[in-house]
Structure 1
Amino acid sequence: MFCETDLVEPLGALVVLAAFAAATGTLGLMWYLRQYRETVSARWFILTLGAQAVVAAAYGVGLLTFDPVLRRYAEASVWIGLVWLGPSFLAFALSYTGRTDLFRSRGFRLLFAVPAAGSLLALTHPAHDLLWRGFRLSPLFEVATVRYAIHPLGYALALASLAAAAVAVLLLVETIVAYGPLYRREAIAVAVSTLPPAAAFVVWLAGVGPWPELNLGVAMLVPHVLFDTYAFVGTHMFETNPTTQRAAARSALDDLDSPLLVVDTDSRVVKLNDRAASLFDVDSTARRPTDFERLIGVDLETVLRDGEIEVDGERGAVFSVSYTELTDPAGTEVGGLVVLYDISTERQQTQQLDVLNRILRHNLRNELTVILGRARLIESSPDADPGSQARTIRQAGERLQSISEKARDFARVVERDVQSVDVDLDSIVADVVEASSDEHPAASVDVDIDVSRPTVRSDPELLSLTLSTLVENAVVHAPTEPTVSVRVTDGADGTIRIEIRDSNPEIDAAELAPIESGTETALEHGSGIGLWVATWCVSALGGDLHFRYEDGNVAVVDVPAGDEPDSEA
C-alpha cells in the first residue's frame, strides 16, 4: 500500500520530487527529439532517455510504495532501466560520431543480450535470488527505501551498463578533441551530464555513505536532464553531425590547397578549410552549420548542375566544382566534399585564344580582301592610279601589322608572372605620352596627375601596355585631329583611377558587347584587338576597366595601388 502519512521529512520529499522531476524532464526531452527520429543516433538517444525515464519514474513510485510485493517490482523496474541505459547510450555515441562499422558489428549486437537477460532476471526475481537476496523494506525519511544484498551477477549487469556509458563518454570526448569548436559545447554537455548520476549510482552500489538505503543516483538525474536539454535543445545537437566530418577526415583532403567545403545531407556547410574561409571571408573556426546558399550566394544544386562558380572579390576567380559523396563505413551517405579548382587562368587563356583567333581571321580576311582587290585593279586596269592603290594596300598592311604587334606584346607580358614593384606614375604616363607623340605627331595628349602618393606597387609593363593601348585606341579613331586627356586620381578602397578621355564619336556597342560578355561569337566580335588587350592587362593587375560616354569616350581604369612604400627603405 502507499504511505498514508502526510508527514514526509524534507530530504525524503526532495528525493521523491527529484525522481519525478527527472522522469518528467526526460519525457519532455523525448517529445522534443521526436522531430529527429529519422536520424539513427537520435533514435538511440530517445531509447536511452526511455530507459532513464523508467529508472526515475519507477524509483519515485517505489519510494511511495510500502507494499512489499509492489515495492519489489518497482525496484525491478529500476534495474531494467539501469541495465538498458549504458548499451543504448553507447549505441547513440557510436552512431553519432560516425563509427557505424562498430555499431553494426555482430559483437556490438551481442552486447544487447546483457540488458535483455538482465531484464528477464529482474522481472522473474521472486522465483530466484540471482540478482539479489534479503530484500526488505527499510524506510528512511518516511519514504519506502529498501535494503538488499546484490549478488555478483547483479553487480556484473550494473557495472556492464556503467562501463558502456563510460565508453560512450570517451567517444564524445574524442569528438571534442578531434573536431574543435564545432561540436564542443554539445559534446561537453552530454559527457558532463553523465558524471553526477554515475558517481551517485556507484556510491549506492558500493553501499557506502550515511544512507545506503537511498539511491541518490536517481536524484542526480535532474542535472543530467538539464545538461542534455541544453545540448539537444539549446544548441541543436542533432542539427550537426560529426559523422560528416569524420568521413571528410578519412578522405585526407583537409590539407588541400584548393577551397574545400564539407556539406551535410541538408546542403549545409559543416566545415571548410582555410583557403575556402579566405575566399568567402569567413572564420574557418566559426561554429556551423551554415546554409550553403547563404555562404556562397548560390544553392548547391545549381552549382553542381553548372559545374562551375564565379566568386567576386579580391580573392575571387572562376572555379570548377568537384563533388565527392561522403559515406560512413556502412555506405550510408552522410554528406559531400565540394572542392573548387581555380580555372581562371585556363578560362582566360581559352578566351584569349578564341578572341585572337576570331579577330585575326576577321581582320585578316577583310584586309586581304582590300589588298588583293587593289592589286587586281592595278593588274587589270592600266588607267588605275598606282600611287593611290599602293597607299590603300600599305594602310591595310599597317593595320594587320598593328594587330600582330599588339598580339605579340600581349603574349610577351602574359607569359611572365605578374610583378609587383614600385612604379612612378609620372614617369610611366610620360613614357606612354612620349611614345604616342612620336608615332602620332598630330595628336594632342594632356596629362593631369593628382594623387596622394606618386609611387604605387604594380606591374610596370602591364600598366604601361594598358595605358598605351587605350591612348592609341583614342588617337587612331579620331575623325579629325586627335585630342586625348589622361587623368590620374586616387580611387576608392586603395585604388588608383586612370581616365583616358577623347572627343571621338561613341564607341560602337558592337565593340564593347563582346568585352562586357567576356567572349566573342561568330556573329558578335570586335573589329580590333586593342580593347581586349587592355581588358586582359587590367584583369591581370586585379583591376577593373569600364567605359562611359560624356561628350566623348571615357575609359576608366581602376587598379590596386598596393601597399604604401616604406619611407625608411
Structure 2
Amino acid sequence: MTPGPLGLGIIVASIAAGVGALYLLQYLYSQKGKAGADWFMGNMASVALFCLSYGISLVITNPTLRIVLGAVAFICVCFMGPFFLAFGLDYTGRGDLIRTPLFGIVAIVPLLSIGLAATNSIHGLIWADFQFDPVFGLATVTYTVQPWGVFALLFSIGTAAVGSLLLIGAILSYGSLYRREATAVILSTLPPSVGVSFWLFEIGPVPQLHLTAPLMLIHVTLDAYAFVGTHMFETNPATQRMAERTGLDSLSDPVLILDTEQQIVGANDRAEDVFFNTTSISLPVPLEATLGVTLETLRETGEITVETEGGGIFAVSYTPLTDPSGESVGSMVVLYDVTDQRQREQQLAVLNRILRHNLRNETTVISGYAELLEADSTDPHHVTQAGTIAAASNRLKSIAEKVRTFENVQQRVRQPESLSIRDVVADIEQTYSTTYPDATITWTASPPDLRFRTDPELLSMLLKNLVENAIVHSESSEPTVPVAVSEGDAPRKGIQVVIRDSNDPIPDYEIETLRAGEETPLQHGQGVGLWIAYWCIRKLNGEIDFEYDEGNVLIVSLPPMAE
C-alpha cells in the first residue's frame, strides 16, 4: 500500500506536529515549576505521542500493531483535556482545586480508559468491529466507538473547554497583560476539538480518516507562539489572583474600605484593633467620625497620628475603586505604620545637630591650640606633631561641614530656574582657585552659551563636590581636572557633564554601596562629598555612570526641570 500525495501530506503533517510538540516540550522543561507549566508539559507529551503514533499507524498494515497504535492514540486524546484543565486551573491561580476530590474524579476517566483500552478485546466497551478501510493509500481503519469511548472523548473535549473558559476569564479580569498568550492557547484547542468531533461523529466524506493529528500542527504552532514568542510563563494571572485571595485580613497594616459618601463599609482586623477596639460598632460609619479628619484632609497631609491604644503615626495610601464600566464605587485607604521610622528620624535629627555643633566647636579649639603649639615650639618634632593635629582637626571640621551640606540636600525643596552654564562654571572656578591654588580646572561647554533649567543650588553642590573629589585624591601636586558640559541626547534633552581625572580607579565596592544607598567607607571626609554629589543627582532626577580611561571618568546626565 503506497500513500498518494494527499495521504503522504497527512502523514508528514502528523509527524511534524508530533516533532513540534516534542520541541515545545523540551522548551517547557526550562519553565518547570512555574504555575501551570508542569501540567501543560503533560498536555504536550500527550499531543506528541498521539501525533507520532497516529502518523506511524497510517503505514502499518499489521492488525495487532495497528490496534495497539490506535489504542495509544485514543488514550492520548483522553489525557489531553484533563491535562489542559489542570493547566488552566494552576495558571490562573486555582491550583488548590487540583488537589481536591472533585479533580480526582476528572483524573479517573483517562486513567480508567488505559485499563479499558488494554482489555477492550474482552469487553468491547471502547471500540468494536475493527477493520481496515484504506483511503488515499493510507492504512486507515473504521470501527464503532462504544459508549465508554464516546464518553471519554467527549469528556476530554469538555475539560479542555473548561480550561479555555478559565483563560478567557483571566483575559477579562486582567486586561491586556495576558491577552495575546492566553488567546493563542485558547485558539490552539479548537483544531484538535474539531478534529475529534468530526471523526467521532463521522462528519465529512472520509470519516475513517482521523484529521485530529494533522490539525495538531496548527495547535502546536499557536502554543509555540504563546510560550516561546511571548514568554507566557514569565508572568501569569496566578500572581494577581493570589494577591486578591490574600484578602484584607492578611495585611498587617490597617485597611479601610470607603463608599462614595466617605463612609467606612469595610475594615480588616488590624483596622478594627486600631479604631474599633473599645466598643462594638456596626458599619457603615463616617470616616471623619472615626479618624477625626475628612478624606480630603487625609490625602492632603498624607499622614495621621492615632492616639488610641495600638495606634501611632501612619502614612496614608489612597486607591480609588471603580466598577468594570469605570464608575467610581468608593476607595481603599491603607495606613502604613511609620511610628518607629518617625521616632528614629527625630532621634537622628537631634544627634546630628549635637554632633555637628560639638564637632565644629571642639575642632576649632583643637586647631587653635595646635597652631599655638606649632608657632611657639622650637622642637622640629613637636612642630610636625602640632601640624598633624591641626590637619586632622581640619579634616574633622570638613566632615562636619559636609554632613551639614548633605542634610541640606536631603531637606531642600527644589527651586528650578533657567541658568547659564557659564555662570555656574565661573562660580566653581572662583571657589577652587582660592581653596586649591595649585589645581587647574579646565572647562568646555557645547554650545558655549548653553542654558539649562534646574535647581542652581543643587547643580552647584553637585559639580563642586565632584571636582573637589578629583582634586583631593590626586597624587599630583598640581592636579588638572577637565570638565565638559554638553547638551544631552534625546529624548531627555538635558545636559551631560563629564568630569575626568588621572587618579586611581574608584573602588568598585564604593560605587556599588553608593548605588545601593548603604554606608560606604569615608576617607578624609571625601566619601561624604561623593555621597552629596550622588544625592544631588537623585534630587535632580539624573543619572551617574562611572568609567575608567587612564583615570576616572564620571558621566552625569541631568534632565531639565519642568516650568
Q: Give TM-score, length-normalised by structure 2.
A: 0.50
2:211 matches 1:222: no
In structure 2, the partner of 1:368 is 365
Offset, 1:31: 5.4
CA distance in 2, matches of 1:81, 1:46: 9
* Residue 225 to residue 354, structure 1, CA distance change in 2 (3 Å): farther
Q: Is the 8 A contact 1:466 1:537 kept in 2?
A: yes
Offset, 1:246: 3.8
Offset, 1:415: 1.8
In structure 1, the partner of 2:454 is 458
* Residue 53 to residue 107, structure 1, CA distance change in 2 (3 Å): farther
Alignment of 1:178-257 (within 5 A): 184=180, 191-211=186-206, 214-216=207-209, 218-225=210-217, 227-228=219-220, 231-232=223-224, 237=228, 242=233, 245-250=236-241, 252=243
Deviations 1:51-106 (A, max 9, x none): 45445555664xx46x7x99877766654444344334434554566643233322
**What's the secondary structure of 1:112's corresponding residue?**
helix
2:152 matches 1:157: yes
2:495 matches 1:495: yes
Offset, 1:457: 0.8
2:408 matches 1:416: no
Deviations 1:217-240 (A, max 9, x none): x234123136426745x8864995
* Residue 243 to residue 167, structure 1, CA distance change in 2 (3 Å): farther
- Give the percent of matched residue pairs that are identical in Structure 1 and Structure 2: 27
- Where structure 2 has 5 or more consecutive residues not aligned to the other structure, the ranges are 33-37, 245-345, 378-391, 471-479
**What's the secondary structure of 1:419's corresponding residue?**
coil
In structure 2, the partner of 1:114 is 109
Aligned with residue 83 of structure 1, among 78, 99, 103: 78
Alignment of 1:89-488 (within 5 A): 89-94=84-89, 99-125=94-120, 127-128=122-123, 130=125, 135=129, 139=133, 141=135, 145-146=141-142, 148=144, 150=145, 152-171=147-166, 184=180, 191-211=186-206, 214-216=207-209, 218-225=210-217, 227-228=219-220, 231-232=223-224, 237=228, 242=233, 245-250=236-241, 252=243, 365-372=362-369, 411-412=407-408, 414-425=410-421, 452=447, 453=449, 455-463=451-459
CA distance in 2, matches of 1:497, 1:487: 7
CA distance in 2, matches of 1:71, 1:529: 81
Deviations 1:492-521 (A, max 9, x none): 6543769999xxxx99x9xx9999997786
Q: Answer with 242-251 or 535-544: which moved more.
A: 535-544
Deviations 1:292-319 (A, max 9, x none): xxxxxxxxxxxxxxxxxxxxxxxxxxxx
Q: Is the 8 A contact 1:84 1:161 kept in 2?
A: yes
Q: Is the 8 A contact 1:424 1:455 kept in 2?
A: yes
Amino acid at match of 2:197: V
Let me know the Cα RMSD of the aligned residues: 6.7
**What's the secondary structure of 2:200's corresponding residue?**
helix
- Where structure 1 has 5 or more consecutive residues not aligned to the other structure, the ranges are 1-5, 254-348, 382-395, 475-483, 549-554
CA distance in 1, matches of 2:528, 2:457: 18
Offset, 1:459: 1.1
Q: Answer with 351-360 or 35-44: which moved more.
A: 351-360
Amino acid at match of 1:422: S
CA distance in 2, matches of 1:166, 1:115: 16
Q: Is the 8 A contact 1:30 1:49 kept in 2?
A: yes
Q: Answer with 112-121 or 556-565: which moved more.
A: 556-565
**What's the secondary structure of 2:236's corresponding residue?**
helix
Amino acid at match of 1:110: I
Q: Is the 8 A contact 1:131 1:154 kept in 2?
A: yes
Amino acid at match of 1:248: T
**What's the secondary structure of 1:242's corresponding residue?**
coil
Q: Is the 8 A contact 1:465 1:534 kept in 2?
A: yes
In structure 2, the partner of 1:525 is 524
In structure 2, the partner of 1:384 is none
* Residue 223 to residue 354, structure 1, CA distance change in 2 (3 Å): farther
Pairs aligned (count): 419
CA distance in 1, matches of 2:90, 2:545: 55
* Residue 402 to residue 203, structure 1, CA distance change in 2 (3 Å): closer
* Residue 165 to residue 428, structure 1, CA distance change in 2 (3 Å): closer
Offset, 1:359: 8.7
Q: Is the 8 A contact 1:22 1:53 kept in 2?
A: no
Amino acid at match of 2:495: T
Q: Is the 8 A contact 2:126 2:147 kept in 1?
A: yes
Offset, 1:168: 3.5
CA distance in 1, matches of 2:140, 2:553: 89
Q: Is the 8 A contact 2:92 2:236 kept in 1?
A: no
Deviations 1:213-272 (A, max 9, x none): x233x234123136426745x88649956386344334549xxxxxxxxxxxxxxxxxxx
Amino acid at match of 1:158: L
Amino acid at match of 1:87: P
In structure 1, the partner of 2:262 is none
Offset, 1:121: 4.3
Q: Answer with 446-455 or 49-58: which moved more.
A: 446-455
Amino acid at match of 2:524: H
Q: Is the 8 A contact 1:190 1:231 kept in 2?
A: yes
In structure 1, the partner of 2:48 is 49
CA distance in 1, matches of 2:43, 2:361: 74
CA distance in 2, matches of 1:404, 1:97: 57
In structure 1, the partner of 2:270 is none
Amino acid at match of 2:411: E
Amino acid at match of 1:215: Q
**What's the secondary structure of 2:155's corresponding residue?**
helix
Deviations 1:142-197 (A, max 9, x none): 7664364x555543232112212333444555667758577946x65554444334
Q: Is the 8 A contact 1:456 1:561 kept in 2?
A: no
